Chains A and B, each alone.
Chain A
Amino acid sequence: MSRPSRPEPRILREPPPAAGMAALARAISVFFYAMCALLLLVLAAMVYNSFFAIKANEEGMLFRFGRLHPVAGQEILKSGTWYFKWPYPVDVLKVIPAQRSVTVTTRRFMPAEDPNRLAEAQRAAAGGAPQPLRPGYDGYLLTGDANIMHLVASMTYRVSDAKRYHLAHFEDPAPPPGTPAREAAAKRRGTEYLLESLLENATLLEVGARPVDEVFRPGGRAGGDPAIPGGRRDSLSEAVKRRVTATIERLDVGVEVLDVSFVEIQAPLAVQSAFSDVFSAAADRQTEIARALAGEKQGLIEAEGKAARILGDARAYKSRVVENVSAFAAYFATVLGEYEKNPETMLVSLYADTLRDVLKVAGSRYVVQTGGPDQELRVMINPEPEKPKPAAGPATP
């Protein structure tokens, strides 16, 4: 038996110092070239981003070191061509959505909680207390006759002067992610908030100059039936649009108001049932009038029929009388000829023929022997025969 031989011990040898330096130099060299490549990539990206175009519904402004820098003599850059800008911080491009319509909507005149949802909740609770309107929390509008109502106002506008829009009016910075909506709203100071405020101001004023029925009424002040709920509210929206436009022009905001509209016009929850009853009463009124009109039409049509029948009867009478008399005249002339030949026979003959016909037709005939004393005759002259009783025998004539 032979024993296994022991392995040779491994001896780690340190590389010579010159080789280490060479490896370090190689690593630095690799890093350096990587940095150069990265720099080239960054430069390429910068060059790529330096060329830009403006979209069709936008306008741009180029600021060089903060100053508005005209390009080819134009301060406002438009679509359809390529532009060049130096990288930040030399040039900064500001793009304005100049041609696109933007809509701002304000719910300032609505309660903090949706009244429709609250109404459902109250109906479910059956007889819950009406929703109070808390100052500083719930919004509403006062009408000219000191009624309270709610609505949502919207305004659509577009930027007509990008330079004025950007340079003369504050632009809200985007709120940091996660900012609560209420907090973000409280920090708004910019143009959109300004326009929203002007819309609220004009709405407050115009609604405050009209009675509540006119705000609800379709067609506004100019006319329309207050009985018909719903429909257009041109007059109010037109007036608000006019007022906002005048203020915007005075402040030179650089926007053009395209449209103002109001939706969700409603009474406060506490009085909604009373308002609904008015609409219901108005509908009842319309129904009653419609029924009366229908009755009038029907009555007139029936009267036309009756009148036609009266006239028809009269014409028939006329025709009948004329024909009868004509026929009788002809008959008379014929009989007269015969009568003159043999008067007595003719008369008896005519009389007997007539009596025979009459007796044939008559339902009951009684012949009474005259000339006797104390005669009494009882006759049932009711022409309608008695109905026979089921159990009885055959009816006696």
Chain B
Amino acid sequence: MPKRNLMQHWIAIAMAAAVVLIFLLALVVFQVSETEMVMVMRLGKPRTEAGPAGAPRVKIYPPGAHFKWPLVEALWRHDNRLQCYELQKGQTEQVQTADEYQAIVTTFVLWRIGDPAVFQRAVSTTAAAENILDNKVRDARNNILGRHRLGDLINTDPKRVKIPEVEAEILGFMKDACLRDFGIAIEMVGFKHLGFPEEVNNKVFDRMRAERQRKSGDFRAEGTRDALKIKARAEQGVKEMLDKAEAEATKIRAEGDSIAARSYEVFARNPRLAVFLRKLEALRQGVDAKTTLILDTQTPPYDLLRPGATLLPAAGPLRNPDAAAQGK
């Protein structure tokens, strides 16, 4: 009868067994991820294995599932990937450069675990590692920056900016010591911010204002200069154009006069008459409504106003131009 009851509840029994199994496995099995380093600490001491030379070394577990004893063995885990840490201490610390300038430099570090055994023993946690980095990097940075001039950090000549070299010097200054003493592998040290103390900033502002004022003046003066140049060029262009036109006009007028002169040949037949006719024509063209004529009574036809005008003259009022020319 009890055997039949057990068989009736095989599902419940299987479920209970599975739960117990999972619980037991959870106690003895652990996983190592690809992104972490794991040590098994037996009574606080890392489990070791034989090294290449036979000497014991701390056992680092590869990714996968592994076993450990429950209760007597505990796990130590730490991420094995590259981390970026910005120094939290000394963010407003003034660093003196070789040429007596005070600079404020914000620094970051790229680091990962280099020697897990040393790291676990000397550091163990990320917070402790960052504390160590704060001190070591600050010390190295202040040392190295003290050997460089401000012109090595900022310079209008790109070839004279030596920030990468300064960063490499800082890295070289502490890299080996950090790995040896703390198991921390530092991949890179870099600057994120470079500034001056607040009172220096105010001086910089004064200088910037003065420079901008000079630049504004330069721009306005350049504008006036360029405008004057353009105006002079324009005036010269206008003058050249008009001079050229005048020269051309003189040439054209001369051509006209030359052509007209050819017609003067006909006047050779009676030059005096020609002159007389030209005078008449000039007189006709020279008088307009604004002209005031003052004539005497000897001028024909006003000679008719004189006494005896009813007597016809023996000769005409005018002398024949030909006769006048001949003195007759």
- Residues on A close to B: CB < 8 A? 32, 36, 39, 63, 65-68, 89, 108-109, 130, 132-136, 139-148, 166-171, 186, 188-190, 193-194, 197-198, 200-201, 204-205, 208-212, 227, 247, 251, 267-268, 270-271, 274-275, 277-278, 280-282, 284-289, 291-293, 295-296, 299-300, 302-304, 306-308, 310-311, 313-315, 317-322, 324-326, 328-329, 331-333, 335-336, 339, 343-345, 347-348, 350-352, 354-355, 357-359, 361-371, 377, 379, 381, 383-384
- Chain B positions 268 through 282: 1 when the CB is less than 8 Å from some CB of chain A, otherwise 0: 011001101110110
CB proximity of B4 to chain A, nearest CB, Å: 16
Cβ–Cβ contact B235 & A299, under 8 A = yes
Q: Which listed segment binds A: B136-144, B176-184, B205-213?
A: B205-213
C-alpha spacing A168/B226, complex, angstroms: 60
Q: Does B301 contact A (CB under 8 A)?
A: yes
C-alpha spacing A32/B154, complex, angstroms: 76
CB proximity of B193 to chain A, nearest CB, Å: 6
**Contacts between the two chains (Cβ within 8 Å), count:** 383
Return chain B residues, CB-CB under 8 Å to A347. 276, 316, 318, 320-321
Q: Which listed segment binds A: B44-52, B78-86, B115-123?
A: B78-86
Return chain A residues, CB-CB under 8 Å to B63. 63, 65-68
Which residue of chain A is the closest to B86 with respect to CB atoms?
Answer: A197
C-alpha spacing A95/B301, complex, angstroms: 127
C-alpha spacing A354/B280, complex, angstroms: 6
- Residues on B close to A: CB < 8 A? 11-12, 15, 31-35, 62-65, 79, 81-86, 88, 91-92, 104, 108, 110, 126, 150, 153-158, 161, 163-164, 187-188, 190-198, 201-202, 204-205, 207-209, 211-213, 215-220, 222-224, 226-231, 233-235, 237-238, 241-242, 244-246, 248-253, 255-257, 259-261, 263-264, 266-267, 269-270, 273-274, 276-278, 280-281, 283-284, 287-298, 300-302, 305, 316-318, 320-322
Which residue of chain B is the closest to A298 with respect to CB atoms?
Answer: B234
Return chain A residues, CB-CB under 8 Å to B195. 133, 135, 140, 142
Which residue of chain A is the closest to B226 with respect to CB atoms?
Answer: A289
The 8 closest A-B pairs by CB, nearest first: A318-B256, A285-B223, A314-B249, A307-B245, A383-B290, A296-B234, A274-B212, A292-B227
Cβ–Cβ contact A197 & B190, under 8 A = yes
Return chain B residues, CB-CB under 8 Å to A296. 230-231, 233-234, 237
Cβ–Cβ contact B252 & A315, under 8 A = yes
CB proximity of A317 to chain B, nearest CB, Å: 5
Which residue of chain A is the closest to B63 with respect to CB atoms?
Answer: A67
Cβ–Cβ contact A379 & B227, under 8 A = no
Return chain A residues, CB-CB under 8 Å to B263. 322, 325-326, 328-329
Residue from the list A289, A313, A321, A333 in contact with B227, Cβ < 8 A:
A289
Cβ–Cβ contact A335 & B273, under 8 A = yes
Cβ–Cβ contact A289 & B223, under 8 A = yes
Return chain A residues, CB-CB under 8 Å to B301. 352, 355
Cβ–Cβ contact A146 & B226, under 8 A = no
Return chain A residues, CB-CB under 8 Å to B249. 310-311, 313-314
Residue from the list A65, A145, A285, A311 in contact with B219, Cβ < 8 A:
A285
Cβ–Cβ contact B84 & A194, under 8 A = yes
C-alpha spacing A300/B238, complex, angstroms: 6
Cβ–Cβ contact B192 & A201, under 8 A = yes
Cβ–Cβ contact A293 & B230, under 8 A = yes
Known A-B contacts A135-B104, A186-B88, A368-B294; the reply to A318 vs B226 at CB < 8 A is no
Cβ–Cβ contact B277 & A331, under 8 A = yes
Cβ–Cβ contact A169 & B227, under 8 A = no
Return chain B residues, CB-CB under 8 Å to A359. 293
Residue from the list B92, B187, B217, B295 in contact with A366, Cβ < 8 A:
B295
CB proximity of B108 to chain A, nearest CB, Å: 5
C-alpha spacing A271/B211, complex, angstroms: 11
C-alpha spacing A358/B241, complex, angstroms: 42
Which residue of chain B is the closest to A323 with respect to CB atoms?
Answer: B260
CB proximity of B164 to chain A, nearest CB, Å: 7
Return chain B residues, CB-CB under 8 Å to A352. 300-301
Given contacts A211-B156, A310-B246, 19 further A-B contacts (CB under 8 A): A65-B64, A132-B202, A169-B81, A198-B190, A209-B158, A210-B156, A285-B223, A289-B226, A292-B234, A299-B237, A306-B241, A319-B256, A332-B274, A343-B320, A344-B316, A351-B300, A355-B300, A362-B291, A366-B295
Return chain B residues, CB-CB under 8 Å to A322. 256, 259-260, 263
Cβ–Cβ contact A351 & B280, under 8 A = yes
Residue from the list B192, B228, B260, B291 in contact with A383, Cβ < 8 A:
B291
C-alpha spacing A81/B57, complex, angstroms: 45
Which residue of chain B is the closest to A385 with respect to CB atoms?
Answer: B290
Which residue of chain A is the closest to B101 with respect to CB atoms?
Answer: A146
C-alpha spacing A134/B199, complex, angstroms: 10
C-alpha spacing A280/B216, complex, angstroms: 8
